[in-house]
Amino acid sequence: MERKAAGGEVAGANFIDPRALARIGDLELVARTVVEGFINGLHRSPYLGLSLDFAEHRPYMPGDDLRRIDWRLWARTDRLYVKQFEAETNTNFVAILDVSRSMSFGSQGLTKLDYARFLVATLAYFSRSQRDRVGLITFDADIVEEVPPSAKHLEMVLHTLARARASGAGALAVPLRKLAERFRRRSILAVVSDFYHEPEEVVEAVRWLRYRGNDIIVFHVLDPAELEFPYEGGTSFEDLETGLRLPVMASELRERYRALVREHTERLSRLFAEERIDYVLLDTARPLDHALFDYLSSRERLSRVR
């Protein structure tokens, strides 16, 4: 099965339908299945070594650090080359997962929280396999659960994920501001939410996490129904978080709604870009591999020191 990724087609990748994953009860198995399937499908892996592994030589350019010149190669070739290494990536990976009630929505048998759970598990698994320390924080209007980043916390992360339930109203500013003060080390933070807030508020809240130089990747998880608004005729919509009901003629509103959602996501994307924060919009109908790919692309960009 091939799906188009947000950043383009990933050739040769065999993606797994999230609904198929949902039938796998074990999160670790899910994560492994996803990661391995993903890696096997890649033609090229820029992530083969994560320590001080040699990566490549490139011609010396004026201004390069003299200490990184490969003298042996100069001796053999009488040309100056600079050795390039993969950066030291033994960092913290912390998934910040929104478990507010709106995440319980799912129009196709898979809720957003399920999808996010797979995503975080996969990322955690993948990160652990990269020897990163993994942690997890769930929040709704406040912090719900917290698994501090540690090399040994993958199982706890997965367990916490499996236990997570969507409940309560969601908020970003309070929990994220609290979180910002907890990260002692520079970390990679994956914020997973449906972001039902004004884009400016979202960016303002997420910006707090950049304290101490954390790298942030934002996963915006939305159900296809939230994107496409496929409802017909008169429908009464009840807000999952507030209980407010609004009877509308859905078919007549569809285009306006889509335009609003599109404007919302585009605005988020733009604002995050301005803040140099990676923003990935995930449709829960899309395979997780896409998300992983996006993540890894971003991870590569963040961690590579050139």
Amino acid in position 29: L
Among 257, 297, 300, 304, binds other proteins (CB under 8 A): 257
Q: Report the site for other proteins in 73-102 (rule: CB under 8 A).
A: 102
Residues 75-79: contacts with CB within 8 Å, 24+ apart? none
# binding residues, other proteins (CB under 8 A): 33
Contact 189, 217 (CB under 8 A): yes
Piece of 57-65, 155-163, 249-257, 273-281 that binds other proteins (CB under 8 A): 249-257
Angstrom distance (rounded) from CA 291 to CA 10: 12
Residue 260 lies near other proteins (rule: CB under 8 A) = yes
* Residue entry with tokens 């999160």: 27
**Residue 177 is encoded by which pair of tokens?**
């501001």
CB-wise, 56 or 266, nearer to other proteins?
Answer: 266
Q: Report the site for other proteins in 153-212 (rule: CB under 8 A).
A: 194, 196-197
Cβ neighbours around 233 below 10 Å, total = 9
In whole angstroms, the minimum distance from the beta carbon of 15 to other proteins comes to 25
Contact 134, 120 (CB under 8 A): no
Residue 108 lies near other proteins (rule: CB under 8 A) = no
Among 239, 266, 270, 301, binds other proteins (CB under 8 A): 239
Find all residues with CB under 8 Å of 259, minimum gap 6, and list them. Answer: none
**Cα angle 182, 213, 135; round to 5:** 45
Among 261, 265, 275, 302, binds other proteins (CB under 8 A): 261
Piece of 75-83, 126-134, 245-253, 282-290 that binds other proteins (CB under 8 A): 245-253
Piece of 43-51, 68-76, 173-181, 236-244 that binds other proteins (CB under 8 A): 236-244
Among 114, 241, 278, 283, binds other proteins (CB under 8 A): 241
Tell which residue, 62, 56, 60, 65, has the closest CA to residue 82.
60
Contact 55, 86 (CB under 8 A): yes
Q: Which residues bind other proteins (CB under 8 A)?
A: 102-103, 105, 112, 194, 196-197, 223, 226, 231, 233-242, 244-249, 252-253, 256-257, 260-261, 264
